[in-house]
Structure 1
Amino acid sequence: MTDQLLAGKNIAILVANGFEELEMTEPQRALLKAGAKPKIISPEQGLVNGWHGAAWGHYFPTDRHVGDVLAADFDLLVLPGGDRSVAKLASNPHTRRIIGSFMDAGKGVAAFGRGVELLAVADRVKTRAVTGPESVKAALEAAGATWSEDAIVVDRFLVTAQSNEEMAEIIETMIRTFVAAGEQRKQAA
């Protein structure tokens, strides 16, 4: 994959305490390598704590508070999973606003594992093809999504993935989709 494909793009990574660490750090690393500027957005102040395996993981500095963020500030959005993180974000009114704004604007969004559930919270998945862990299937179908059993699904500029087991392929798909989203937005301008 060529470096700097996303040069200068501002990427929001939306997480709360208990996010699945691998689903944040691997995409973050790839986005940095592609020239993007990923920023950690969180309801937590200062530091957010990841979840790694069966225990708490590392702390990461937050860049912006979720209440101070607008989708217009960013080009793309990443939604890592993690039970605790998704539960906290799902109960935060800013989550719906931010995700909804990204989806309404046709910006690239990538959701991994339980993070896919946040798309149902934002109520922006009607008629969209998605995948994720079996535990979120009912919520997404109830929100009007079309469920797929594929490991990775791309619907326009929305990338969803069941788990982090195929992270290299997920990241490659995410980068390719984010580049395409940027090209379309450039042509539309």
Structure 2
Amino acid sequence: MTDTSLAGRKIAILVASGFEEVQMTDAQKALIASGAQTRIVSRENGLVNGWHDNSWGHFFPIDADLTQTLAIDYDALLIPGGARSIAKLLDDPHAKRIAKAFLKGNQPVVAFGDAISLLAITEELAGRTVTGEDSTKEAAEKAGANWSEEDIVVDGMLVTAKGDAQIGAALDALMANVTEYAATLTDEAA
């Protein structure tokens, strides 16, 4: 039996060249298999380049320009890690705007590894418990977050994970959050 628990749900995948390819592709496959529509959102021109192991990976087409993307148009946000990608996103005011809007609106977010740095600059991490790459601990704590050494942390609609080994568990948590979020939207509309 096919899992269609996310049928009709739109998931934004926020990246810049240098993102951890496996974190994006494995997540994208699982989300699509659950019926979700995934959209790669970036400032890159036409294609974005992943990072796989210790070298550049594949190119992926951009579905939406970051400058024209609004959180309200999506049901969830996925941010793969990758030092190169996150460094570029940290310098982009639109990336901060999108991440902040998702967190402030209590929409489902999953962030891997280095992506915690992007969440830290949103001013929306205070009081939340997060995990990620050890290199992001200081930024998270400075932003008021509670740091956990766990491999994956679910804090309400925010799911943070250290890396590739947690992709499956992080996506399970994200899918549950998207289902819960969709139910609240239905309740509000009723």
TM-score when normalising by structure 2: 0.95
- Structure 2 distance, partners of 1:152, 1:100, is 21
- In the TM superposition, 1:88-127 aligns within 5 A as 88-127=88-127
* 1:132 matches 2:135: no
- Tell me the SS of whatever aligns to 2:165: coil
Question: What residue identity is the alignment partner of 2:95?
Answer: T
CA offset digits 1:26-48 (Å, max 9, x no partner): 11111101111000000101100
> Does residue 185 in structure 1 map to residue 165 in structure 2?
no
| 1:32-181 alignment runs, 5 A limit | 32-181=32-181
Counterpart amino acid of 2:188?
A
Distance change (3 Å), C-alpha of 1:103 and 1:2: farther
- Answer whether contact 1:7 1:35 (CA < 8 A) is retained: yes
How far is 1:118 from its partner? 1.1
Q: Could you report, residue by residue, the CA deviation over 1:138-182 in whole angstroms, capped at 9, with x for unpaired residues?
A: 000000001111111111100000111232222222222222222
Q: In structure 2, what residue type is equivalent to 1:165? A: A
> Which residue number in structure 2 is paired with residue 24 of structure 1?
24
Structure 1's consecutive aligned runs of 4 or more residues displaced over 4 angstroms after TM superposition are none
Match of 2:7 in 1: 7
Task: Give the Cα–Cα distance (whole angstroms) in 1 for the partners of residues 185 and 135 of structure 2.
Answer: 34
State how far apart, in whole Å, the 2-side matches of 1:133 and 1:105 are.
Answer: 25
Q: Is the Cα–Cα contact under 8 Å of residues 81 and 111 in structure 1 kept in the other structure? A: yes
- Quick one: percent identity of the two aligned structures? 46
| Distance across 2 between alignment mates of 1:153 and 1:109 | 12
What is the CA–CA distance in structure 1 between the aligned matches of 2:176 and 2:24, rounded to whole Å?
18
Equivalent pairs, count: 189
Q: Which secondary structure does the structure 2 equivalent of 1:117 belong to?
A: helix
Gap regions ≥5 residues in structure 1: none
SS in 1 for 2:138: helix
What is the distance in 2 between the residues matched to 1:182 and 1:118? Answer: 25
TM-score (norm 1): 0.96
Task: Answer whether contact 2:129 2:145 (CA < 8 A) is retained.
Answer: yes
**Cα–Cα, structure 1 residues 185 and 106, in superposed 2: closer, same or farther, change >3 Å?**
farther
> Displacement of 1:2 after TM fit?
6.2
